[in-house]
């Protein structure tokens, strides 16, 4: 569906722009579609001096798997990222006190991507680094949101909705033996 006029945009979801061949269309659109067109996750933005406990609480409230660690407030400089993985691997497994500053356990200088980059570029950065969350920066260099693997999956599912949504439910695993007496 195309609209007429100076502000005309294709209002279909990015992945729903279908052409001749599905694989060709997907390949072409991965390079043509911009990260700014994807639904980005809200930012849980924290100061580097915030306690781990405060950061985890922010992540819970925002329902996100990561927090962007900033120096100088919300519009300050992005200096790190703290993820669920960091919490488990660096805090829980080491038995650290959650009152410590997040700066001591964050991943410093995280990889980022600009909002005008292609979806293909975002996937490449995430795949090469093994990242589940990728901060997205605007033209001014400030974080606009976070792109997650889940967002990429939703984008890709738009190309194969019948195949994905019509999958049979997972067969129930049979219990090998009765439990109890």
For 106-157, write each residue's pLDDT tens digit.
999 999 999 999 999 999 999 999 999 999 999 999 999 999 999 998 888 8
- Residue with the larger pLDDT of the pair 95 and 39: 95
Whole-model pTM above 0.95?
A: no
Domain boundaries defined on the chain:
32-164
Provide the phi-psi class of 44: left if phi over 0, else alpha when psi is between -120 and 50, else beta: beta
Task: Identify the weakest region by mean pLDDT among 33-47, 86-100, 115-129, 164-178.
Answer: 164-178
Domain 32-164 CATH class label: alpha beta
Question: For residues 166 and 160, what is the distance between their CA atoms, to the nearest angstrom?
Answer: 10
Could you tell me the pLDDT band of residue 167, with boundaries at 50, 70 and 90?
A: low
């Amino acid at each position: 569906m195309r609209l007429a006029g100076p502000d005309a945009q294709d209002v279909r979801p990015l992945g729903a722009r279908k052409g001749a061949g599905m694989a060709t269309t997907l390949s072409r659109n991965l390079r043509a579609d911009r990260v700014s067109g994807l639904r980005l996750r809200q930012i849980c933005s924290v100061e580097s001096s915030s306690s781990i406990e405060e950061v985890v609480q922010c992540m819970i409230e925002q329902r996100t798997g990561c927090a962007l660690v900033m120096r100088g407030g919300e519009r300050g400089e992005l200096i790190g990222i703290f993820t669920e993985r960091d919490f488990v691997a660096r805090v829980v497994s080491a038995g650290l006190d959650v009152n410590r500053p997040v700066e001591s356990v964050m991943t410093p200088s995280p990889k980022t991507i600009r909002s005008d980059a292609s979806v293909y570029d975002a996937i490449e950065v995430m795949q090469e680094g093994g990242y589940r969350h990728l901060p997205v920066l605007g033209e001014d260099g400030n974080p606009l949101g976070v792109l997650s693997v889940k967002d990429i999956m939703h984008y890709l599912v738009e190309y194969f909705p019948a195949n994905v949504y019509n999958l049979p439910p997972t067969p129930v695993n049979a219990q090998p033996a009765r439990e109890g007496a």
